[in-house]
């Protein structure tokens, strides 16, 4: 009688097959008592409780793992965005420094051209000054010798002596005919001496002008050197900053690549955690629904057994 009622009830209540088979086996056993059935129900309840505890923990752990994976992914994305932004800014800065370097290079090149021009001008001026010093010194020496001889010309020099001296000092022939000084009076000699002294003064004036030109060229060369030094230092600084920025861009690119790889890894971990949590959630929902359904059956069976005992 007990077997017939319970078998009919279990079939109609759609108790899951594994637990329904256990109950049917029990009630079909000869001599099965109500107490044995109730004990079995309690055992099934304990099994269900353990199952719910297990799937709940697994689901909660999966949720926790998913939350941690999501946080790690969010942090990885932020780190990647920061790294990519830093690299982008560094590349932009590098472009600016390249422009500064190119401009500084052009300015330095122009300054070097001006320095070379000033150097050639100074060298030429110094060379001309040196040659003029030699020429003027030679003429001065000749003129001073002539002045010494002038006092002898009017009194004792012969035409042959004067002619020989004129041959050795041809430049004087354009100024005075020395042959006219033979036997000349002191006034004429004094006039010639004045002319010779004027030649010496003119030579020194020429020397002063050439020297002034050389000094001006030297001053311009000094200015050109200072200007070129300033622009060369500016170019070297700009070039150094560009080199440093090159290295910084390379380093930040490596950081960005690592950050991107970390994001991909975090995304994979998150996706796996998400799939796992979906699985544990499905298991949890299924087991919860199953246990709730069985519990309803257990209660109804207990109520039925209580009626049979009466």
Domain extent, residue 235, equals 33-309
Sign of the C-alpha dihedral, residues 94, 98, 99, 104? positive
Are 182 and 153 in contact by the 8 Å Cβ rule? The answer is yes
Alpha helices in 157-185 (DSSP H): 159-168, 170-173
Cα–Cα distance for residue pair 205/207, rounded to 1 Å: 5
**278 within some domain:** yes
Domain count, the chain: 1
> Is 10 a domain residue?
no
Average pLDDT (135-148) is 87
pLDDT digits (tens, 9 = 90+) for 103-126: 999 999 999 999 999 999 999 999
* Tokens, residue 258: 């690592």
Mean pLDDT of the chain: 84
Query: Crossing angle of helices 2-13/34-156, nearest 10°?
Result: 30
- Whole-structure pTM value: 0.65
Which pLDDT does position 148 carry in this prediction?
A: 78
Q: How many C-beta neighbours within 10 Å does residue 294 have?
A: 22
Model confidence pLDDT, tens digit, residues 234-267: 999 999 999 999 999 999 999 999 999 999 999 9
Does some domain include residue 5?
Answer: no
Question: Is the separation of the CB atoms in 40 and 26 below 8 Å?
Answer: yes
Q: Is residue 207 part of a domain?
A: yes
Of residues 163 and 105, more confidently modeled: 105
Report the alpha-carbon distance of residue 70 to residue 64 in Å, rounded: 10
Residue pLDDT, tens place only, 209-225: 999 999 999 999 999 99
Q: Residue 144: pLDDT above 80?
A: yes
- List the one residue out of 300, 309, 305, 281 whose CA is nearest residue 60: 281
Domain membership flag for residue 1: no
The answer to whether position 18 is within a domain reads: no
Confidence tier at 9 by pLDDT (50, 70, 90)? very low
Please report whether residue 8 resides in a domain: no
Query: Six-digit token pair at 233?
Result: 């230092």
What is the chain's length?
310
Higher pLDDT, 213 or 28: 213
Highest mean pLDDT among 32-36, 139-143, 174-178: 139-143
Look at residues 207, 304, 276 and name the one whose alpha carbon lies nearest to residue 66: 276
Which residues lie below 8 Å from residue 101, measured CB to CB, with a gap of 6+? 235, 238, 239, 241, 242
Q: Is residue 206 part of a domain?
A: yes
Is pLDDT at 176 greater than 70 in this prediction?
Answer: no
Give 13's pLDDT tier (boundaries 50, 70, 90). Answer: very low
């Amino acid at each position: 009688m007990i077997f017939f009622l319970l078998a009919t009830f279990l079939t109609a209540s759609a108790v899951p097959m594994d637990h329904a088979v256990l109950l049917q086996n029990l009630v079909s056993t000869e001599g099965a008592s109500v107490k044995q059935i109730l004990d079995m129900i309690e055992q099934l309840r304990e099994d269900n409780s353990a199952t719910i505890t297990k799937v709940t923990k697994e689901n909660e752990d999966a949720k926790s793992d998913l939350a941690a994976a999501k946080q790690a992914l969010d942090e990885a994305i932020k780190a990647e965005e920061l790294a990519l932004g830093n690299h982008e800014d560094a590349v932009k800065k590098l472009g600016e420094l390249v422009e500064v370097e190119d401009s500084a290079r052009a300015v330095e090149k122009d300054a070097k051209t001006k320095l070379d021009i000033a150097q050639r001008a100074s060298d030429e001026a110094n060379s001309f000054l040196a040659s003029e010093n030699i020429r003027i010194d030679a003429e001065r020496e000749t003129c001073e010798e002539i002045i010494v001889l002038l006092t002898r010309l009017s009194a004792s020099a012969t035409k042959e002596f004067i002619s020989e001296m004129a041959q050795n000092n041809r430049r004087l022939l354009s100024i005075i005919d020395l042959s006219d000084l033979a036997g000349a009076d002191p006034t004429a000699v004094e006039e010639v001496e004045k002319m010779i002294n004027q030649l010496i003064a003119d030579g020194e004036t020429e020397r002063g002008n050439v020297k002034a030109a050389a000094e001006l060229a030297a001053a311009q060369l000094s200015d050109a050197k200072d200007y070129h030094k300033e622009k060369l230092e500016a170019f070297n600084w700009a070039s150094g900053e560009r080199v440093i920025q090159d290295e910084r861009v390379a380093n930040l690119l490596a950081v960005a690549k690592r950050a991107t790889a970390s994001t991909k890894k975090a995304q994979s971990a998150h996706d796996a955690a998400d799939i796992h949590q979906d699985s544990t959630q499905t298991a949890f929902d299924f087991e919860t629904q199953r246990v709730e359904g069985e519990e309803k059956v257990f209660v109804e069976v207990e109520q039925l057994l209580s009626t049979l005992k009466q």
